[in-house]
Amino acid sequence: MSETLQMIFKTEEGRNTTISVADPEPELGLEEVEPVMDSIIARNIFDTAAGEITGKVRAQVVSRTVDMLGEF
């Protein structure tokens, strides 16, 4: 099973944009993620097609399981 941390932000145009991090630490919690999201907004270091990142929407860890049927 693979996991991905998704940090979802609001942009200037009112659209959502996602920054994903593969394989986050298992004990990672909101108390560690929220300051990182605040820093991303404050430093304005990411450029998106929908303008600057202006706010936080949510943070989530997505788990994915792949059942291999066959490889060719």
Phi, psi at residue 41, to the nearest 5°?
Answer: -65, -50
| 25: pLDDT strictly greater than 90 | yes
Burial class (CB in 10 A: 0-12, 13-18, 19+), 72: exposed
Nearest-angstrom CA–CA distance, 21 and 5? 5
Query: Contact 44/53 with Cβ under 8 angstroms?
Result: yes
Q: What is the pLDDT averaged over residues 25-43?
A: 96
Q: Is the full-model pTM beyond 0.75?
A: yes
Would you state the pLDDT for residue 4?
Answer: 97
What's the pLDDT band for 1 if we cut at 50, 70, 90? confident
